[in-house]
């Protein structure tokens, strides 16, 4: 029988979006769409980057009565000559091309050594989502102006000699009229804008930042000579227990980090009130924190722990955890990272793995020295942390008493953790003894347990609950996690749960994926409440390691990729950084057992740098998921499986 081709889907159905069209079609992929603040922030960030590079002392933001916003700076001014390759004015390219900007050039002599702008899509997104946008650049005795509408040039570049009364020596003015159709609310949230501008002034001591509102004729200017500590003291709701700990550290001729990378910080410890926590990377606010925050936490914890051990202050039976030190900490952290990797285009979280070691490496020795120079203050801080640890442990012991005495003997191959606090405890179900050995050596003994599994776990989809414990591996998993097998409609006793996270850790190959599916089948069929309550996770170890040579200011580095796509992305980035083709070396991990303990910790076990996916039902409900797994795992479902493979087999990437 002839199959009629689908006339609705042909070569002409494929659309290629050009220029700024992708931004207009899917604005949510590039910016926040609740209000236009983020597209204005992109312009402010560019002005701040000029000040950060040492080329500007003033930034002024004006809210005009016609709904437009203008941002003025006294930086170098955007170049407006012809681009050597693109044969178009540079200022036009910056506002009309995605991935065009001055922030990619990170080598010696680059326009920006450190910048918040990195993706090169910032102000072009502002332009795409604005009804009108006017740019004026003052540079080298000339004034250039250009006007856009919806991302298109409507008034071409005009250049005149400077000399009018309003002309500045150098700098840029951008005035934008955000297009309301792309945003849920058309007006800018004044409180958020004020906070953003104030924080820019805090992070750049000596730079004045002004907000002017035409309608009310109000104007406010911020300029902080004292920087972070002044700002934090004004923001705190309670007095600090000890004097504020402030400091900074930046790399200089380091083997690991580029010159100038580092951080400045101000930390205050209070006994009451809501902690204030703000962090920035190259002046960009990271509202969701990230690896630089983790580095600060790590440095504070290790310095306080070291002080407590040196002075023998820890009471018997008390275990100190990072959150005990961090619980009452308020801080403002400003990190400088040469090549920051952010989560998402709106840059709300820093993902750069090296930032943990970067910040921690400067914070820890500075705080250790300060505490040992001010022993009385050190003892007060130690008292605060020990008190938090005792409160946490008491809360954990209350739960322990309800467990009763009938505890099953834990499996012999389980390497347990020391803590009994299930909120922080994790167990890794690891494929094979060799990987289990690396995991045991690389783990955090305090809160991470390892249970190695021998071979492939039994397919339990059609196994009766009463017969489960006949299989040693499944018996060991159930006893280790402290929860009995149960059905979807049961109400199991989760009070004996021993770990807050049950993490499946298998190789990044076909066999590893099969083991992952068998374990997910086990949890979905026989421990569904663990999935429902968010206790089951899948760890994602990398498949490749790239050893990159030194490039520009960046020293040699090791980079990890989860898959081929990430590997391609890393290599493209190295090429952009000017690394010669083939100057890097690529290693492929055949399995977890090939990783040493340090590599496994850095890529897969360390909470600050690993990739851990929570297991959730997603868009399907329980019954739909059950029907799908029956097709995949049922013994009498070979025909259905074959049909599924014929339909979707070509969309599956298999790494053999």
User: How many Cα atoms occupy the beta-carbon half-sphere of 183 within 13 Å?
Assistant: 23
Residue bearing tokens 């405890």? 425
Cβ atoms within 10 Å of 619's Cβ, excluding its own = 7
Write out the two tokens for 493: 């006793």
Q: Which helix (H) or strand (E) holds 245?
A: strand 245-250
Task: Point out the catalytic residue in the list 214, 259, 446, 509.
Answer: 509
Our answer to whether residue 511 is catalytic in this structure is yes
Q: Quote the CA–CA distance of 58 and 201 in Å, as a whole number.
A: 10
Are the C-beta atoms of residues 540 and 563 closer than 8 Å to each other? no
Of the residues 179, 246, 426, 507, which is catalytic? 507
* Cα 427 from Cα 435, distance rounded (Å): 14
Cβ-defined contacts of 271-275 (< 8 Å, 24+): 271/238, 271/241, 271/328, 271/384, 272/238, 273/236, 273/237, 273/238, 274/237, 275/328, 275/329, 275/330
User: Is 509 annotated as catalytic?
Assistant: yes
Element (H, E) at 330: strand 329-336
Which residue in the list 431, 473, 476, 602 is annotated as catalytic?
Answer: 431
Which stretch of DSSP H or E encloses residue 336?
strand 329-336
**Active site (annotated) includes residue 218:** no
Q: Is 507 a catalytic residue?
A: yes
Given 323, 348, 444, 511, which residue is catalytic? 511
Contact in structure between 631 and 620 (CB atoms under 8 Å): no
Sign of the Cα torsion 21, 27, 30, 35 reads positive
CA distance 151 to 134: 11
Q: Is residue 264 within 8 Å of residue 228, measured between CB atoms?
A: yes
Cα separation, 240 vs 234, in Å, equals 12
- For the purposes of burial, counting CB atoms within 10 Å of the CB of 581, is it exposed (0-12), middle (13-18) or buried (19 or more)? exposed
User: Which token pair is 547?
Assistant: 């050893």
Quote the DSSP letter at residue 290: B
DSSP symbols for 125-154: HHHHTEEEEEEEEEETTEEEEEEEETTEEE
Separation CA 126–CA 44 (nearest Å): 11
Q: How far, in Å, CA of 636 to CA of 642, rounded? A: 12
Catalytic residue ranges: 431, 507, 509, 511
């Amino acid at each position: 029988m002839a199959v009629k081709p689908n006339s609705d889907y042909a070569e002409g159905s494929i659309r290629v979006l050009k220029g700024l069209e992708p931004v207009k079609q899917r604005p949510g992929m590039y910016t926040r769409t609740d209000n236009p603040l983020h597209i204005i922030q992109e312009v402010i960030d560019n002005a701040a980057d000029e000040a950060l590079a040492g080329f500007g002392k003033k930034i002024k933001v004006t809210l005009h009565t016609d709904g437009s916003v203008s941002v003025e700076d006294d930086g170098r001014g955007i170049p407006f000559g012809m681009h050597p390759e693109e044969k178009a004015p540079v200022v036009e390219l910056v506002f009309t091309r995605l991935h065009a900007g001055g922030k990619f050039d990170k080598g010696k002599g680059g326009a920006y050594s450190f910048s918040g702008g990195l993706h090169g899509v910032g102000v072009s997104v502002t332009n795409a989502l604005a009804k009108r946008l006017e740019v004026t650049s003052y540079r080298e005795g000339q004034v250039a102006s250009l006007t856009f509408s919806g991302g298109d040039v409507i008034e071409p570049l005009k250049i005149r000699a400077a000399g009018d009364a309003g002309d500045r020596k150098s700098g840029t003015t951008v005035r934008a009229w955000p297009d309301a159709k792309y945003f849920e609310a058309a007006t800018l949230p004044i409180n958020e804008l004020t906070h953003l501008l104030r924080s820019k002034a805090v992070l750049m001591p000596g730079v004045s930042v002004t907000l002017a509102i035409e309608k009310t004729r109000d104007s406010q200017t911020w300029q902080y000579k004292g920087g972070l500590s002044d700002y934090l003291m004004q923001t705190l709701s309670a007095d600090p227990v000890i004097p504020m700990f402030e400091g900074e550290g930046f790399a200089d001729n380091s083997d690991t980090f580029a010159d100038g990378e580092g951080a400045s910080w101000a930390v205050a410890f209070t006994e009451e009130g809501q902690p204030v926590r703000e962090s920035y990377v190259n002046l960009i606010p990271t509202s969701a924190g990230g690896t630089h925050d983790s580095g600060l936490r790590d440095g504070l914890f290790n310095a306080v722990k070291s002080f407590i051990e040196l002075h023998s202050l820890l009471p018997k039976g008390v275990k100190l955890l990072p959150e005990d030190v961090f619980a009452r900490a308020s801080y403002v952290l400003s990190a400088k990272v040469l090549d920051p990797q952010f989560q998402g285009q709106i840059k709300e979280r820093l993902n750069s793995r090296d930032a943990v070691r970067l910040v921690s490496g400067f914070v820890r020795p500075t705080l250790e020295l300060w505490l040992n120079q001010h022993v009385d203050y050190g003892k007060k801080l130690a008292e605060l942390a020990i008190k938090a640890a005792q409160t946490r442990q008491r809360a954990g012991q209350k739960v322990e008493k309800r467990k009763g005495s009938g505890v099953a003997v834990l499996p012999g191959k389980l390497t347990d953790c020391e803590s009994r606090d299930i909120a922080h405890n994790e167990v890794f179900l690891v494929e094979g003894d060799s990987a289990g050995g690396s995991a045991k050596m690389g783990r955090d003994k305090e809160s991470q347990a390892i249970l190695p599994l021998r071979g492939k776990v039994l397919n339990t989809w059609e196994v009766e609950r009463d017969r489960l414990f006949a299989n040693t591996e499944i018996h060991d998993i159930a006893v280790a996690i402290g929860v009995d097998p149960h059905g979807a409609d049961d109400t199991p006793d989760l009070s004996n749960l021993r770990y807050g996270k049950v993490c499946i850790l298998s190789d990044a190959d076909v066999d590893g994926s099969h083991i992952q599916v068998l374990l997910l089948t086990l949890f979905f069929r026989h421990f569904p409440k663990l999935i429902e309550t968010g206790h089951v996770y899948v760890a994602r170890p990398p498949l490749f390691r790239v050893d990159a040579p030194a490039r520009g200011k960046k020293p040699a580095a090791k980079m990890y990729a989860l898959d081929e796509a990430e590997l391609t992305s890393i290599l493209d980035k190295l090429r952009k950084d000017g690394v010669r083709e083939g100057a890097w070396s690529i290693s492929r991990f055949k399995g977890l057992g090939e990783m040493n303990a340090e590599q496994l910790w850095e890529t897969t076990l360390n909470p600050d740098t690993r990739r851990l996916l929570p297991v959730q039902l997603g868009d399907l409900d329980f019954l739909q998921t059950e029907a799908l797994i029956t097709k995949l795992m049922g013994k009498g479902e070979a025909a259905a499986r074959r049909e599924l493979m014929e339909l979707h087999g070509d969309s599956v990437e298999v790494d053999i």
